Structure 1
Amino acid sequence: MEQKVELRKVRDFGELINDTFVFTKQNWKPLLKAYFTICGFFLAAAVIVAVLQQQRLLQAFGSLPTGTSPFAVYGWDTVINVVLVMLFYVMMTLTTFSYMSLYKEKGNTAPSVEEVWSYVRYFFGRMFVAQILLSILIIIGFVCCFIPGVYLMPVTAIMLASIVFENSSLGYSFDRGFKLIKGQWWTTFGAMLVMMVVYYAVSIVLVLPISLITGAGVFLGRFNMPFPFLAATVVLQYLAQVFMILLYLLTGIAYFSLAEEKDGAGLSERISSIGKSDPSADLPEEQY
């Protein structure tokens, strides 16, 4: 029987990536069940709005008078789509991190959907505000100078993980993220970059065939993006988002590796838990 992944453990670059895939292999059924149960509504709503928006934009661009700004065709459906996508990413982040937190608390055992949902509800407001503020921070970093934006990406990811894994406030997790990643930025960034490449490669494989057919038809002037092709393209693009879970899983594993390196609490936790009852039903005490 394959040994369950121990989250609280110091890892190098290769182990971060390898253990992410091992954890995914061992937990993909309960994790995907929680993902589609909790995030399914936002995923479906975002797909429907995106399909309708793309159809309207294509029709609007086709009848746009010469000299009119292309931004004039964007309307409220664009705003709704942005909000839905934002909520979807918040829910996906929370579902993945909540699953990992409960997995650790339950002694490397997969939690139920109900348990994950209880954590998602508890952390939703905090995570929603944190993702908005940290996204603005990254954008400012890219606008002011490209390098700060790149530097902040893995740091903010660790900050978001800290909110769930330590039940911390945004202020505490902000400071915690910089402390944890100090001296390990390249390792963390490199592992995340590899996982992003995997995600984009899978996305391209899923979307490329129908995109080529649609693009060839438009180029040859035989059709102008029929609705079935438009809908299929959007649906595949959003379904590919499920592979973003790999990046969040790697972020969580990187957090535990960094925390163990800095705190060395993993062994102490395992020793102190001997003979004690399972604390998985209780949320951790909030830190400031």
Structure 2
Amino acid sequence: MMQFYKKRDFGTFISDTFNFFKIYGRNYFKSYILINGLLLILLIVVGVFGFKELFGQLFGSNLSGNSYYFEEYFQNNWGMLIITGILMFLLYSALMIVNFLFPVFYLNRAAHGQSIIKTDEIVGDFRKNAGKIFKLYVGLTFLVIPVSMVILGISYILIFILIGLIIMLFITPTLFNMITFLSYDYFNSNRGFFESLSYSLRSQFSYTNGRESSPYWKYWGSTLILGIIYYVISLIFTFVPMMLFYGSLFTSTPDGNFEQNPFGGTFGIVIFVIYGISAIFSFLAMNILYINSGLIYYDSRTDLHQKIELAEIDTIGSHE
């Protein structure tokens, strides 16, 4: 068992994140794969058989110097491309929502004393909160994410005058924490969407009791370090398909010409399947950041620390 509602420092956030997976990892990923597995497979299948042909036409025509072939292909197959795009958008949206909220519901149950959490219980949480999930999706899609993209875009532009790189190092972890805090607070409190959004922003810089020093640096630092770890893990799994892709672009035929369609045939399918597998590992690795954000959120809820500790003492006394 692990105590969730308590004060943590910078190093404890990182160590407790990995301790969480030592204690709950097997049960956590079992339910995670059962719930997300079908969506991941469907996303990969649509990507392989839908966009393989699209990218094949694009790169094949460009390599041979006949870009009008791609324009003609698009005109003749626009219906299929639109349908594929809609399917990808719907599947990706569903996957992101489920992937994003799974740790929220899991940690909520674990924080209240459950050591073994069944898949059916998590699915039940999704069903019970369907209305709130829809509101969160709308709020994130049309408000939070667009504003975040504008802020990140401005920071990215400022990279050209060097100061933008420093700003990005601070803005990116802070925005990530704010968005995940919004989700954790929205489903762990009685606050509405905008109230949770306000809390997610305020709690980055101060505790609600107003008597303690700002927690910003330990929140930012732990997310930055684990973000770097996530980036390295993702880079390892994307390196192989990337090398295969660039290798296919510079593969010469016996007459010295570049291969016309680097995504054609079995080799193209292999590239997309490997990319799909790397995407799965990236989604799995992302849980490191989600769990860390959950622990940060529980650190911020100082109003519940003493209540949880007293409840645990009462539980120990009842067992005796």
TM-score bracket, shorter-length normalisation: 0.7 to 0.9
Checking the alignment, whether the CA contact within 8 Å between 1:95 and 1:117 is kept in structure 2 is no
1:285 alignment counterpart: none
What is the CA distance between 1:15 and its match in structure 2? 0.8
CA contact (8 A) 2:57 2:73 kept: no
2: distance between equivalents of 1:154 and 1:75?
34
2:13/2:296 contact within 8 Å kept = yes
- Match of 1:283? none
* TM-score (normalizing by structure 1): 0.82
Question: Which stretch of structure 1 is more off in the superposition, 203-212 or 34-43?
Answer: 203-212
Q: Which residue in the other structure is 2:307 paired with?
A: 268
Superposed CA deviations along residues 1-37 of structure 1, whole A, max 9, x for unmatched, are: xxx3211111111111110010011111111111112
Q: Does residue 97 of the first structure (1) align with residue 104 of the second (2)?
A: yes
CA-atom RMSD in angstroms = 2.8
* Aligned equivalents of 1:68, 1:186: Cα separation in 2: 51
The aligned runs of 1:106-255 (5 Å cut-off) are 107-123=113-129, 124-132=133-141, 133-143=143-153, 150=172, 151-182=174-205, 183-221=214-252, 224-225=262-263, 226-240=267-281, 241-255=283-297
Long gaps (5+) in structure 1: 277-288
Per-residue CA distance 1:225-275 (angstroms, 9 max, x = gap) = 323322322222321211111111111011001112xx2x22223314655
Cα deviations across residues 76-112 of structure 1 (Å, max 9, x unaligned)?
423321332121111012111101000112x152311
- Residue 13 of structure 2 is matched in structure 1 by 16
Q: Aligned pair in 2 of structure 1 residues 91, 68: CA closer, same or farther (>3 Å)?
A: same
Letter in 1 for 2:235: I
Indicate the residue corresponding to 1:85 in structure 2.
92
User: How far 1:69 sits from its partner (Å)?
Assistant: 11
**Is the 1:154–1:185 contact (alpha carbons within 8 Å) kept by the matching residues of 2?**
no
Gaps of 5+ in 2: 62-66, 157-166, 206-213, 254-258, 316-320
Distance in 2, matches of 1:250 and 1:95, equals 14
Cα distance in 1 for partners of 2:202, 2:268 equals 50
**Post-superposition CA distance 1:144-191 (Å, at most 9, x none):** 555596443322221111112225321221111122212323322222
- The 3-state SS of whatever aligns with 2:177 is helix
> What secondary structure does 2:68 align onto?
coil
Other structure's SS at 1:250 match: helix
Structure having the higher Rg: 2
Give the letter aligned to residue 147 of structure 2.
L
Contact 2:219 2:296 in 1 (8 A): yes
What is the distance in 1 between the residues matched to 2:12 and 2:47?
A: 38
Q: How does 1:32-71 map to 2 (within 5 A)?
A: 32-61=29-58, 62-63=60-61, 64-65=67-68
Q: Alpha-carbon deviation of 1:216?
A: 1.9
| Count of residue correspondences | 269
CA distance in 1, matches of 2:122, 2:313: 25
The answer to whether the Cα contact below 8 Å between 2:57 and 2:70 also exists between their aligned partners in 1 is: no
| Residue 4 of structure 2: aligned partner | 7
8 A contact 2:105–2:125 mirrored in 1: yes
Q: Conserved in 2, the CA contact under 8 Å of 1:90 and 1:127?
A: no
Partner Cα distance (2:127, 2:37) in 1: 15
Give the counterpart letter for 1:242 in structure 2.
Answer: L
Contact 1:102–1:111 at 8 Å: present in 2 too?
Answer: yes
What residue identity is the alignment partner of 2:35?
I
> 2 CA distance for matches of 1:7 and 1:195?
19
Is residue 55–residue 230 contact of structure 1 (8 Å, CA) maintained in 2? no
2:21, 2:187 → 1: CA distance?
A: 19
TM-score with structure 2 setting the length: 0.75
